[in-house]
Amino acid sequence: MKKTCLLIVLLALPVWLTGCFTTDLTAPPGHEVRIMAKDEPASFRKEYKDFYLFWGILPIWRTKPEEIIAKENLVTVRAQTQDTVSDAFISILTSFILFPQTIVVEGNRATTTGPERPD
């Protein structure tokens, strides 16, 4: 019986430890967006948290980067996930039931130029 329980735990452990945290980076409909290089400067930066239950298996609050891209009129963008101290603190406080994930969206807005004036 102990061997069976141990086998079940060992088989289930990879599933428990590999959360299904996902963040899709897609361009909003009708927007042409270029992915920025890691070291490219950005004039816009926004951090937000997504929340998941049960090791990331069940998303309960997700913000989509394409919503931020459209709202801020970004033409170049970079998005990354970060594990922060506050994320770990929230997970510990909720007995590892609620898992936050910090998402950072950076980019540059479209520049608008007016009509050229004759000299």
Give pLDDT tens digits for 68-101: 999 999 999 998 888 888 888 888 888 878 888 8
Contact by Cβ (8 Å): 71, 93: no
Give the phi and the psi of residue 81 in degrees, each rounded to 5.
-100, 145
- Residue 24 CA from chain centroid, whole number: 7
Q: Which domain holds residue 47?
A: 19-109
Q: Quick check: is 2 in a domain?
A: no
Tens of pLDDT along 15-58? 555 556 667 778 888 888 899 998 999 999 999 998 988 777 78
Q: Quick check: is 116 in a domain?
A: no
Instruction: Say which DSSP state 73 is in.
Output: T
Of the candidates 82, 77, 80, 79, the one whose C-alpha atom is nearest the C-alpha of residue 42 is 77
* Within a domain: 44: yes
How many domains does the chain contain in total? 1
In a domain? residue 33? yes
Residue with tokens 């963040």: 23
Q: Is residue 8, in this structure, part of any structural domain at all?
A: no
